[in-house]
């Protein structure tokens, strides 16, 4: 009976550890509290960073962008929130955070002409600048 209880306990501990592994890989998703709706609205290249498992194919990855492009997807989450109900009439804080993350990405990819998300980043910059101006904020000065 003790052997069975010991094996049962070991199996229960293994199941508990394995069930926690996906959440450990979903750091950004948990840290930002990304909802399933927000996740579905993100571009597919953000899904691995948000902990979506079992992805393969080039559409699921940021390529040739340097080491710091990981700020872009969280910036997109803040951009979505700044445009949505989460802003509760005060979107400037969220849009400012998006602005910072996008700027960080712009600076990180400037020396990577083949960066796979370059056009996406440019479109997000234009959108963030327009929203900041619309709400009375000031976009960051152009990247150098």
Confidence category of residue 20, pLDDT binned at 50, 70, 90: very low
**Mean pLDDT, residues 94-121 taken together:** 95
Q: Does a structural domain hold residue 106?
A: yes
Q: What does the buried/exposed string (b/e) look like for 48-68 if buried means 16 or more CB atoms within 10 Å of the residue's CB?
A: ebbbbeeeeeeebbbeebeee
**Do 69 and 63 touch, CB atoms closer than 8 A?**
no
Residue 27 is predicted with a pLDDT of: 66
**Mean pLDDT, residues 40-63 taken together:** 92
The rounded distance, in Å, linking the Cα atoms of 76 and 61 is 15
Q: Does a structural domain hold residue 65?
A: yes
Residue 85 is predicted with a pLDDT of: 77
Q: Does a structural domain hold residue 19?
A: no
> How open is the CA angle 128-77-75, to the nearest 5 degrees?
55
The rounded distance, in Å, linking the Cα atoms of 47 and 43 is 7
**Mean pLDDT, residues 16-41 taken together:** 66
Confidence category of residue 67, pLDDT binned at 50, 70, 90: confident
How many domains in the chain? 1
Residue 90 is predicted with a pLDDT of: 82
Q: Does a structural domain hold residue 5?
A: no
Instruction: Identify the domain containing residue 109 by its residue range.
Output: 27-134
In percent, the amount of the chain with pLDDT more than 90 equals 56
Q: What is the DSSP letter of 57?
A: S
Q: Does a structural domain hold residue 141?
A: no
Confidence category of residue 96, pLDDT binned at 50, 70, 90: very high
Residue 32 is predicted with a pLDDT of: 84
> Over 70: is that where the pLDDT of 17 sits?
no
Confidence category of residue 133, pLDDT binned at 50, 70, 90: very high
Q: Does a structural domain hold residue 7?
A: no
Q: Does a structural domain hold residue 117?
A: yes
């Amino acid at each position: 009976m003790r052997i069975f209880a010991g094996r049962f306990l070991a199996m229960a501990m293994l199941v508990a550890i394995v069930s926690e592994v996906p959440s450990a890989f979903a750091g950004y998703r948990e840290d930002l509290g990304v909802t399933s709706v927000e996740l579905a609205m993100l571009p597919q290249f953000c899904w691995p960073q948000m902990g979506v498992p079992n992805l393969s194919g080039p559409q699921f990855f940021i390529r040739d962008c340097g080491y710091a492009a990981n700020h872009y997807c969280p910036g997109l989450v803040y951009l979505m929130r700044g445009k949505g109900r989460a802003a509760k009439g005060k979107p400037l804080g969220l849009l400012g955070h998006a602005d910072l993350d996008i700027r960080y990405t712009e600076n990180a990819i400037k020396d990577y002409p083949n960066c796979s998300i370059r056009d996406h980043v440019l479109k997000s910059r234009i959108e963030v600048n327009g929203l900041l101006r619309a709400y009375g904020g000031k976009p960051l000065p152009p990247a150098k």
